[in-house]
Chains A and B, each alone.
Chain A
């Protein structure tokens, strides 16, 4: 047929780019920064995690060693905290996604015709950042404490058992994490959805897909970069968070996460090797989880 005339032109491979000394020179400040403030502390943390208590020293005095049993000890001592951290972070990420996706879709797609509304809603999403994260979390503690109007009303209406609490429960911690990280989910979702070409959605409905199928087969895959970025930006800090779960904020004795035990080991128990080992475990676990997740979602190019 006539098409034979238009076979693909062969792609001519381009010559590899010449290495530029200037580029390396320009990289130097960044590399220096990374070595000084990332590689060195990381190495120091690794060394600390392998330290052993000083034989004749006081509490909190340690010597360099290769005491890898530290890892076994913290894993056995704190495995509920490790599981809890990732469980809470996962729940908060899912809730944040469920809440943020419709919001970001509205701002990025439905409100395109009204740039003023778009701007206003984005400001509202970012507005909480103007108040300290700690203050906001404390405010929630006040609002949801046993004596608060919300809880007393719920109890008066018999929607809550008279001796039940909200603060100090896993639900309160997950609520706090979700609330605090929602902007980190909404903003990347918004940037992807804002660029979503609606012609693809029209093509989908032209090809017999009902609105739900268009959403599942076209909108979701096309907004995958935003979903991956948003969930990572929520999950990673949420897994390491120690504010929401802390007893001083929304948590209780049974809601302690890894961040809380790291804090306790560093600042209260002065068990630096245990704290360092926990930090390394947290970091490694996040790296592995994120790696698997990104691989599975097919958005490697984001990393």
Chain B
């Protein structure tokens, strides 16, 4: 066993993945992944199930071997080392607390293996940190899901690993507990200064917790950046739709200047700042976030700083407290989603009303790929089929969770 595992990490370590490929019999989980996570950062790998994010985590933990490529932790090549030799700890999705040991024994397990002095004292300390010291003698089966999650967290952080891996650790928690745990993880990260690699399919979790989010799809990273950057300026249709919702339109570029490109969408001219567009010629997909779009009951003339489309018809209204979501069917342009804050200002319109939509030019974005036509909802979709689609999405989400 190398020296580094015997000692506590002074601080977080860089993680570097170089040309990682992982093939399983019959499919490729990861193809050519390059990734650098700087020490001390909170990094989230976000993606749908089957995108290779958990495989990436397992490769870093040493639970799987890459088909090719190298893994470096703190500059040291650990590709050939076994899981127990890596200065890495994992909070497993299922927690994987040893059922035959008490909570305290679970937390002290790693310390004892490394022969670090006063294992039980340190374990108690870690349990105090997650406020579970009074349950130290219980068995994991006697704890609630949230408590087990905290024990799993204590069991990992007590080892002061250079790198902490979190595999959907909040998946089994209810909303309120999730929020608390998110906050707690963030606090621990700031206090202890570890490097966190967090894998999740929950975009909200990734965005609230991580400094850097990498969106993964089909074994490759689609886009990487700060949460706000990813949200405001998605580069691919996958990112635009996976991270929040987007209204996407596809059309041909009609004009390019240094400042803006003009795209022909169903006969209307839509302007996108050149700096915010990935492609400047040919057929392109552009988009705008639903909360950036404003509804109005009168026709709006497009201007150099405001795009407008219409008229369209409201096909669905759903009220969710802080905001109302409208679905507007615009002939040839597709169905547009609009979020309106319930501030009392702005029109309150019902189903069937004729409306125009508009948004500030600086909020538009141009994608690198051409979206499948009407990737979200077809124009002739009625509420029932939309509801059915929503339901399916929820079911898949539940199954994944």
A192 to chain B, nearest CB (A): 12
Q: Give A1-12 as 1s and 0s: 1 = Cβ < 8 Å from B's Cβ atoms.
A: 111111011000
The answer to whether B88 has its CB under 8 Å from any CB of chain A is: yes
Contact in complex: A222, B96 (CB < 8 Å): no
> Considering only CB atoms, which chain A residue lies closest to B130 in the complex?
A3
The docked-state distance in angstroms from the alpha carbon of A298 to that of B359 is 69
The answer to whether B63 has its CB under 8 Å from any CB of chain A is: yes
The answer to whether B379 has its CB under 8 Å from any CB of chain A is: no
Residues of chain B within 8 A (CB-CB) of A207 are: 84, 89, 109-110, 113, 155, 159
Contact in complex: A209, B96 (CB < 8 Å): no
Residues of chain B within 8 A (CB-CB) of A6 are: 146-147, 177, 180
A210 to chain B, nearest CB (A): 5
The docked-state distance in angstroms from the alpha carbon of A209 to that of B100 is 16
The segment from A198-206, A234-242, A256-264 that touches chain B is: A198-206
With contacts A3-B180, A207-B109 taken as known, whether A200 is within 8 angstroms of B147 at the C-beta atoms is: no
How many chain A residues have a CB neighbour from B under 8 Å?
Answer: 28
The answer to whether B131 has its CB under 8 Å from any CB of chain A is: yes
Residues of chain B within 8 A (CB-CB) of A205 are: 62-63, 82-84
The docked-state distance in angstroms from the alpha carbon of A209 to that of B88 is 13
The answer to whether A67 has its CB under 8 Å from any CB of chain B is: no
Residues of chain B within 8 A (CB-CB) of A210 are: 1, 82, 84
Contact in complex: B180, A208 (CB < 8 Å): no
Q: Give A202-228 as 1s and 0s: 1 = Cβ < 8 Å from B's Cβ atoms.
A: 111111111101100110011010000
The docked-state distance in angstroms from the alpha carbon of A203 to that of B165 is 12
The answer to whether B203 has its CB under 8 Å from any CB of chain A is: no
B341 to chain A, nearest CB (A): 29
The docked-state distance in angstroms from the alpha carbon of A9 to that of B88 is 34
The docked-state distance in angstroms from the alpha carbon of A197 to that of B129 is 29
For B110, B130, B132, which residue has the most chain A Cβ atoms within 10 angstroms?
B110
A257 to chain B, nearest CB (A): 36
The docked-state distance in angstroms from the alpha carbon of A240 to that of B208 is 67
The docked-state distance in angstroms from the alpha carbon of A200 to that of B63 is 12
The answer to whether B278 has its CB under 8 Å from any CB of chain A is: no
Contact in complex: B98, A8 (CB < 8 Å): no
For A3, A5, A204, A209, which residue has the most chain B Cβ atoms within 10 angstroms?
A3
The answer to whether B238 has its CB under 8 Å from any CB of chain A is: no
Contact in complex: A208, B110 (CB < 8 Å): yes
For B113, B129, B159, which residue has the most chain A Cβ atoms within 10 angstroms?
B113
The docked-state distance in angstroms from the alpha carbon of A213 to that of B1 is 14
B237 to chain A, nearest CB (A): 36
The answer to whether B61 has its CB under 8 Å from any CB of chain A is: yes
Residues of chain B within 8 A (CB-CB) of A209 are: 84, 109, 113
Which one of A8, A199, A202, A217 contacts B144 once the chains associate, using CB atoms below 8 Å? A8
Which one of B61, B98, B180 contacts A200 once the chains associate, using CB atoms below 8 Å? B98
B177 to chain A, nearest CB (A): 7
A296 to chain B, nearest CB (A): 15
Which one of B90, B150, B183 contacts A206 once the chains associate, using CB atoms below 8 Å? B90
Residues of chain A within 8 A (CB-CB) of B177 are: 6
The answer to whether B35 has its CB under 8 Å from any CB of chain A is: no
The docked-state distance in angstroms from the alpha carbon of A200 to that of B140 is 13
For A8, A208, A209, A210, which residue has the most chain B Cβ atoms within 10 angstroms?
A208
Which one of B88, B92, B99 contacts A222 once the chains associate, using CB atoms below 8 Å? B99
Residues of chain A within 8 A (CB-CB) of B376 are: none
Contact in complex: A206, B88 (CB < 8 Å): yes
Interface size class, chain B: 35 or more
The answer to whether B5 has its CB under 8 Å from any CB of chain A is: yes
Which one of A3, A200, A206, A208 contacts B184 once the chains associate, using CB atoms below 8 Å? A3
The docked-state distance in angstroms from the alpha carbon of A208 to that of B61 is 11
The answer to whether B189 has its CB under 8 Å from any CB of chain A is: no
> Considering only CB atoms, which chain A residue lies closest to B90 in the complex?
A206
Which one of A3, A8, A211, A213 contacts B113 once the chains associate, using CB atoms below 8 Å? A213
Contact in complex: A4, B144 (CB < 8 Å): no
Kindly identify, within residues 249 to 291 of chain B, every residue whose CB is under 8 Å from any CB belonging to chain A: none
A213 to chain B, nearest CB (A): 6
The answer to whether B72 has its CB under 8 Å from any CB of chain A is: no
The docked-state distance in angstroms from the alpha carbon of A2 to that of B153 is 15
The docked-state distance in angstroms from the alpha carbon of A1 to that of B191 is 13
Contact in complex: B147, A8 (CB < 8 Å): yes
Kindly identify, within residues 1 to 54 of chain B, every residue whose CB is under 8 Å from any CB belonging to chain A: 1, 5
Q: Give B330-373 as 1s and 0s: 1 = Cβ < 8 Å from A's Cβ atoms.
A: 00000000000000000000000000000000000000000000
The answer to whether B122 has its CB under 8 Å from any CB of chain A is: no
The answer to whether B70 has its CB under 8 Å from any CB of chain A is: no
The docked-state distance in angstroms from the alpha carbon of A208 to that of B146 is 25
Contact in complex: B113, A208 (CB < 8 Å): yes
Q: Give A227-253 as 1s and 0s: 1 = Cβ < 8 Å from B's Cβ atoms.
A: 000000000000000000000000000
B138 to chain A, nearest CB (A): 10
Residues of chain A within 8 A (CB-CB) of B155 are: 207
Residues of chain B within 8 A (CB-CB) of A1 are: 129, 131, 184, 187
Q: Give B80-103 as 1s and 0s: 1 = Cβ < 8 Å from A's Cβ atoms.
A: 001111001110101011111000
The docked-state distance in angstroms from the alpha carbon of A89 to that of B398 is 53
Kindly identify, within residues 154 to 191 of chain A, every residue whose CB is under 8 Å from any CB belonging to chain B: none
B203 to chain A, nearest CB (A): 23
The docked-state distance in angstroms from the alpha carbon of A38 to that of B82 is 56
Contact in complex: B131, A4 (CB < 8 Å): yes
Contact in complex: B150, A3 (CB < 8 Å): yes
A-B contact pairs, 30 of them (CB 8 A): A1-B129, A1-B184, A2-B183, A3-B130, A3-B131, A3-B180, A5-B180, A6-B146, A6-B180, A8-B135, A8-B147, A9-B144, A199-B92, A200-B96, A200-B98, A202-B92, A204-B109, A205-B82, A205-B83, A205-B84, A206-B84, A207-B113, A208-B113, A208-B114, A208-B159, A209-B109, A210-B1, A210-B82, A217-B109, A221-B100
Residues of chain B touching chain A, judged by Cβ–Cβ distance below 8 Å, are 1, 5, 61-63, 82-85, 88-90, 92, 94, 96-100, 109-110, 113-114, 129-132, 135, 144, 146-147, 150, 155, 159, 177, 180, 183-184, 187
Q: Nearest 8 CB-CB pairs, A to B?
A: A3-B131, A207-B110, A203-B96, A208-B113, A205-B83, A221-B100, A199-B96, A205-B84
8 new A-B contacts, CB < 8 A, other than A203-B92, A207-B89, A211-B84, are: A2-B187, A8-B147, A204-B109, A207-B113, A208-B85, A208-B114, A222-B99, A224-B100
